[in-house]
Amino acid sequence: MKHQAAAVKKMLPTRIGALFMEMGTGKSRTAIELGIQRQGRISKIVWFCPVSLKETVRFEILKHTDCSAADVHVFGDKTRAKNLPSCLWHVVGIESMSSSTRVISAVNALIDSRAMVIVDESSYIKGHTAARTERITYIASRARYRLILTGTPISQGVVDLFSQMRFLSPKILGYGSFYSFAANHLEYSEKYPGMIVRSHNTQFLAAKIQPYVYQVTKDECLDLPDKLFETRYFSMTSTQRVWYETVKEEILTECLEDDFTSLSIFRLFTALQQIVCGFLNYRPVRKKAMEHHEFSHDRIATLMDTVTSIPPEEKVIIWAKYIRDVEGITAALSREFGAGSIALYHGELNEAKRAGQVERFRNGARFFVATPSCGGHGLTLNEAHYVIFYNNGFKYAERLQAEDRNHRIGQARKVTYIDIQCLDSIDDRIAQALYNKGSVVEEFKREVEKVKSKKGRLKKLIKSL
């Protein structure tokens, strides 16, 4: 496509570069083309990506090149430095660079001065102190060509740019350390150490990275069909409401005694969200043991009513945040439509099983039930034109990733997104934060800061949840 050709034209003359291409615009295809056109100058291509996407990357390489399966090596349980195959493409899970000395050793043996290294979903290496960031950056520094790909380069602000640009070259931004970068561009809260309250000199940063970045959005380059949105509502049962108010009061009391931090807010929101989903995994204040509770609820019934309103020939993606949700959804769908109608995709399945489930969905299964934390990156699921969010995460970036699994190149029909939402609950606040393209935890923390010194107003704010 035109925008992909433009990206290749800009990136090809330079040894380092970033494809900041919005989800669904074909950044993987663009990166593959760069690899193809550089074959005479490189020894191998090492493609880092989230573990859950390794098979997807392999599929895309085989789809867009003349390579055979033997030309693409996906790092697995048996990959070691001593048995690396002599092929062009090597696909490595980013997370493995945090935990597996076997993988680290193999990657270290693999990358040489004539290699091309790609980091897909480079937001995974935005943490400047993370072990995987430091290891990938150090080992890849000897490679002649380096490329990063992401649709969300600064999901948390310009602080995310430092490590991604350092991977390409420390000369781009011109700072030898994160601390010198922070001194020039980040302003921290005096009251709360580590909290960034403001960014400075952002135009300077934009000018510095511009020669190395190709950026495009879907609105700029694609004529995709519209997204359509609906919401289906339900209410808590009386038992859920009692637990909801009790847990809210307990965590409020704890926070007033100590301090209301982002962790406290996250704990509060998670507990309240679990309750409106029909369960609670919770450790009461000053108790060591976790408690597990289940409640009757109408979220599943609302989901099933929604599913039955969708034409039976249509495939459906269902996103659910918790494994407990996935289990409940799977049981309900199995009773109504049979177990053969369901493909599952979540973190408790290994890579091979997840890849098999994607094929199962493409080749007959009607429902794709997945967790956004596992399936929200990289997958292309254009077979589905209906998406149900059984519940939502707390960040807009995660929601957008999940939405765009089937709103991307190749989608010819309008996609309908349906939210299942509990009235008068934490769901309302989450929905509003996502509408504002923000993080519900961070938005609420800002509200807390405004009233923190006034306990009466803080209590009123918490009780409004």
Domains (range + CATH), the chain: 2-221 (3.40.50.10810), 224-465 (3.40.50.300)
| Whether the predicted pLDDT of 460 surpasses 60 | yes
- 162: Cβ contacts below 8 Å, ≥ 6 apart: 126, 128, 173, 175, 178, 181
> For residue 102, what pLDDT is reported?
96
Least confident range from 109-113, 220-224, 371-375: namely 220-224
CB contact at 8 A, 316 and 386: yes
**Band (448; pLDDT cuts 50, 70, 90):** low
- What pLDDT was estimated at residue 257? 53
For residues 297-324, average pLDDT: 92
In three-state secondary structure terms, 290 is: coil
What percent of the chain is modeled with pLDDT above 90?
A: 57
> In this model, does residue 258 exceed pLDDT 60?
no
Calpha distance 251→239 (Å, rounded): 19
Q: What is the pLDDT of residue 254?
A: 72
| C-beta neighbour count of 27 within 10 angstroms | 24
Q: What is the pTM of this model?
A: 0.71
pLDDT cut 70: percent of the chain above it:
93
The pLDDT-based confidence of 224 (bands split at 50, 70, 90) is confident
Local confidence band at 453 (pLDDT 50, 70, 90 cut-offs):
low
DSSP 330: H
pLDDT exceeds 70 at position 459:
no
Which pLDDT value is given to residue 451?
Answer: 58
Residue 450's pLDDT is what? 63
The whole-angstrom distance between residue 101's C-alpha and the CA centroid of its chain comes to 25
In the predicted structure, residue 185 carries a pLDDT above the cut 60:
yes
Euclidean distance between CA atoms 382 and 119, whole angstroms? 24
161-168 vs 131-140: helix crossing angle, rounded to 10: 20
Q: Which of the residue ranges 39-48, 51-60, 240-249, 425-434 would you say has the lowest mean pLDDT?
A: 51-60
pLDDT (0 to 100) of residue 463? 67
Is residue 52 pLDDT above 90, yes or no? Answer: no
Question: What's the rounded Cα separation, in Å, for the pair 40 and 63?
Answer: 21
Q: Report pLDDT for 407.
A: 87
Q: How confident is the model at residue 458 (pLDDT cuts 50, 70, 90)?
A: low
Mean pLDDT along residues 364-371? 95
Of the pLDDT bands very low, low, confident and very high (cuts 50, 70, 90), residue 286 is low
Average pLDDT over residues 171-190: 90
**31, 118 in Cβ contact below 8 A?**
yes
SS (H, E, C) 101-134: HHHHHHHHHHCCCCEEEEEECHHHHCCCCCHHHH
Give the per-residue pLDDT at 179.
Answer: 92
Residue pair 97/53 in contact (Cβ under 8 Å)? The answer is no
Residue with tokens 């420390």: 170
Task: Name the residue with higher pLDDT: 253 or 211.
Answer: 211
Longest dimension (CA), the chain: 70
Could you give the residue ranges of the DSSP H alpha helices within 258-322? 262-276, 299-308
**Six-digit token pair at 421?**
């939402």
Tell me the C-alpha distance between 202 and 210, whole Å: 12
**Cα–Cα separations (whole angstroms), residue 188 to 193, 362, 438, 452:** 7, 48, 20, 19
DSSP class per residue in 20-65: EE-TTS-HHHHHHHHHHHTGGG-SEEEEEE-GGGHHHHHHHHHHHS
Q: What pLDDT, on the 0 to 100 scale, is given for residue 455?
A: 58
Which of the four pLDDT bands, split at 50, 70 and 90, describes residue 35? very high
Closest CA to 201 of 220, 215, 186, 213: 186
The predicted structure's pLDDT at residue 421: 92
Q: Is the pLDDT of residue 454 over 60?
A: no
Q: How far apart are CA 146 and CA 114, in angstroms?
A: 11
